Structure 1
Amino acid sequence: MIRDARVLDPEFVPRDIVHRDAEVNALSNALDPITEGEHGKTTFLFGPSGTGKTCIARYTVEQLREAVIDITTQYINCWQNYSRFRVLYEILSAIGRTVDIHRQSTPADLLLERIQNHDGSPYVIVLDEVDQLEDKDVLYDLYMTRGISIVMIANREEDLFAQLDERLVSRLHASRRIRFERYGMDDLVAILQARVDRGLTPDAIDDEDLRFIADAAAGDARIAIATLREAARTADRDGLTHIPSETVREALPNARETLQQKSLDRLKPHQRTLYEIIEECGEIDPGELYGQYQERTSSPKSKRTIRKYLQKLAAYDLIVAEGEKRGRTYRLSGSVER
């Protein structure tokens, strides 16, 4: 039944993008000056999870690589690479300049110096989850480096700009903003159908079941594709040539759990501590949460940083924030409660 398992992965970037033409065109226009030997426009993609931001960024940059011979590109997930050193190291690794770098002792400024001394050929850097950076000064480093064009991705514009100093805000103020809205049901059906056509044998799933998946995903392409993948794997494992409707419906909660586990695995230590406190308490207010967090952490982050972490946990459906200000409480999302 499964002809190409790669296309059933929510992180797979297809050769042809279904929908998002306006967003692709906007990002392409921002980067188009690179084809004429000029500097691309700093661009910021923002919108809810599962709306195609990462896919569109990687697709558009790959299209640019096909048009420009002498270009370097690097995708960096700032959730994993959240320090200035890690970001600069990943950038250097793409140009083969990290062979003598020692992660424990090499100063970050040395990495920056090497990047600044590269040959000046175009270098496009995609910073996904950019609001997760611990040290935002690296954005200033990159903005001021000759030949580098930056594409930033985050869920909410304010989550990034509220954390920047005036020096950075003034420079990034003119960046191109591209907003991504949640997919409509017909959009998700078309996206799923494109994956079915390439990844599965003909007539492997009914149209009604694709519409069920699209409806249940509520605008989130990650959930839709993960559900299709889970259903196809189950049916294939059972030796079937067609995915039963019952299998599709059973796949939905398993797909959600898989995606949420991936998010849990990516949590930083401080985020993990917050999650564990909420999990233990069932429901907790911000004051008590921060108090318990301080008790468990040797070097606690500020309340402002903790609010940012909690917003990220909520964005990935790991927790739910209810109420406002003093009446606010946090609990695990119903889909991850155990």
Structure 2
Amino acid sequence: MIGDARVLQPAFVPREVEHRDGEVDALTNALDPITRGETASLFGPSGTGKTCIAQYTVERLREQVLDTEYQYANYWRDYTRHRALYRVLEAIEGTLDIHRQPTPADELSERLRSYDGTPHVVVLDEVDQLRDTSVLYDLYSTHDCTMVLIANRQAAVFDDLDDRLSSRLHSARRVRFDRYSRDELVAILEARVKWGLTSAVDRTYLEHIADAAAGDARIATGILRNAARDAERAGREEFTTGSVEGAIAEARQQVRRTSLETLTRRQRVPYDVIDEYGEIDPGELYGQYQERVSDPKTKRTVRNHLQKMVRCDLAVADGEKRARTYRIRN
């Protein structure tokens, strides 16, 4: 039943995008031509197509300017200044002839700033996870560097910038992504079926998948992928109610595992505390966090970790302010 498994993967960038024409046009207008070294910011909940649209738009613009370098960096993993700079330098030809670990971040920054070659584009995903936002200044100060910043919340990026950065990035074009509607998710699924499967899928099943995904394209495509695999293993050329229901739970678990894998060791501690207690208030949670790490971060940092887990559907926050408690999402 599966003709092209790549189409069903979360990282797949389609030849045509569904129901994001406005966002594509806004980003294109902000970056065109990409040789100007402009900056754009994409904000919205997880699963709304920010990463896909950024990569799709940048690739389309690069077709017009062939001599252009490109790098994608996800700051869940490359969250320090050193890692972030190294990731960018990896993609720029002729700039990285140094060993990763022994090289100070300042030397990496100098190597980047002294670059005077072809224009390059850097898509910075999960940019609100950066421990040191000075890397954004490093990139802004680099010759012909175009930045696309991706985060869940606009405030998570711009509110914590120092005055030097804030004034420079104030003019960045900001593009908001909202949750997909039911019909929009169905259209996305229909396109994936057309490109990736050898058999049609009844629209009723696609509507049920869209309802279960609740506006999240990652979950929707995951359900489609799992149901198709189930049908293929059983030698069927069609979905069944049972295969779709089983695929729903599996897709949610897959997204959760992926989100958990991106947590750093320190970010994982608050999650483990919540999981152990079942439900816990912020004060007690922070106390447990302090006991479990040798060099605890501030309450504000831990609060940011908790907010991120809520936005990624790893945890649920109930109540307001002092009455707030956290629990793991089932």
2:208 to 206, 209, 212: 212
Contact 2:95/2:111, CA 8 A, preserved across alignment = no
- Report what 1:23 is aligned to: 23
1:289 to 282, 285, 292: 285
Task: State whether residues 72 and 94 of structure 1, in contact with CA within 8 Å, keep that contact through their aligned partners in structure 2.
Answer: yes
Q: Which residue of 1 aligns with 2:6?
A: 6
Distance in 1 separating the partners of 2:76 and 2:96: 24
1:90 — aligned with what?
A: 87
Q: Is the 8 A contact 2:116 2:143 kept in 1?
A: no
Matched AA of 1:295: E
1:99 positional shift: 5.3
Runs of 4+ in 1 over 6 A off after TM superposition: none
Q: Which residue in 2 is equivalent to 1:128?
A: 125
Which of 248, 253, 257 is 1:252 aligned to? Answer: 248
Give, in angstroms, the shift of residue 97 of structure 1. Answer: 4.3
The C-alpha deviation readout for 1:110-164, integer Å capped at 9, x for no partner, is 1122222223421110000000001101011111212101100000111112221
Contact between 1:278 and 1:330, CA under 8 Å: does it hold in 2?
A: yes
Q: Is the 8 A contact 2:42 2:174 kept in 1?
A: yes
- Cα deviation for residue 103 of structure 1 reads 2.6
Give structure 1 stretches of 5+ with no counterpart: none
SS in 2 for 1:283: coil
Displacement of 1:102: 2.5
Could you tell me how far apart the structure 2 residues matched to 1:202 and 1:42 are? 42
Residues of 2 paired with 1:40 and 1:123: CA distance? 8
Higher deviation after alignment, 147-156 or 62-71? 62-71
1:245 Cα shift? 2.1
Match of 1:67, SS?
Answer: coil
The structure 1 residue matched to 2:267, chosen from 265, 271, 294, is: 271
Corresponding pairs, count:
330
2:181 is the alignment partner of 1:180: no
User: 1:47-58 alignment to 2 at 5 Å?
Assistant: 47-58=44-55
Q: Is the 8 A contact 1:30 1:40 kept in 2?
A: no
The whole-number CA distance in structure 2 between the counterparts of 1:126 and 1:321 is 30
Q: Which residue of 1 aligns with 2:43?
A: 46
Corresponding position of 1:331? 327
Aligned mate of 1:236, from 232, 238, 252: 232
Equivalent positions of 1:66-215 (< 5 A) are 66-97=63-94, 100-203=97-200, 205-215=201-211
SS at match of 2:98: coil
Matched AA of 2:178: E
The alignment's TM-score, normalised by the length of structure 1, stands at 0.95
How much does 1:33 deviate? 2.5
SS in 1 for 2:116: coil
Aligned with residue 299 of structure 1, among 264, 271, 295: 295
* Residue identity in the other structure for 2:86: Y
Provide the rounded CA distance (Å) in 2 between the counterparts of 1:119 and 1:134.
27
Q: Which amino acid in the other structure matches residue 3 of structure 1?
A: G
Q: CA 1:97 to 1:85, structure 2 compared with 1: closer, same or farther past 3 Å?
A: farther
User: TM-score w.r.t. structure 2 length?
Assistant: 0.97
* 8 Å contact kept, 1:271–1:309: yes
CA distance in 1, matches of 2:250, 2:33: 44
The residue type equivalent to 2:318 in the other structure is E
1:12-56 deviation per Cα after TM superposition (whole angstroms, max 9, x unaligned): 11111111001001111111133xxx4142111000111000000
Taking only aligned residues, the RMSD between alpha carbons, in angstroms, comes to 1.2
State the AA in 2 paired with 1:148.
Answer: C
3-state SS, counterpart of residue 169 of structure 1: helix
SS at match of 2:254: helix
Partner amino acid, structure 2, of 1:24:
V
Q: Partners of 2:98 and 2:295 in 1: how far apart?
A: 28
Secondary structure, aligned partner of 1:289 = helix
Deviation digits for residues 199-225 of structure 1, max 9, x if unmatched? 10132x211000110111111111100
1:309 paired with 2:308, answer no
5+ residue gaps, structure 2: none
C-alpha separation between the residues in 1 aligned to 2:204 and 2:150? 34
Are 1:222 and 2:222 matched, yes or no?
Answer: no
Q: Hey, what does 2:316 align to over in structure 1? A: 320
> Which AA in structure 2 matches 1:94?
A
Letter of the 1:278 counterpart:
I
- Going from structure 1 to structure 2, the CA distance change for 1:98 and 1:118 (only over 3 Å counts) comes to closer
* Residue type at the aligned position of 1:323: G
Identical amino acids, percent of aligned pairs: 60
Report the Cα distance in structure 2 between the residues aligned to 1:171 and 1:308, rounded to whole angstroms.
24
Q: Please give the alpha-carbon distance, in whole angstroms, between the structure 2 residues aligned to 1:173 and 1:95.
A: 27
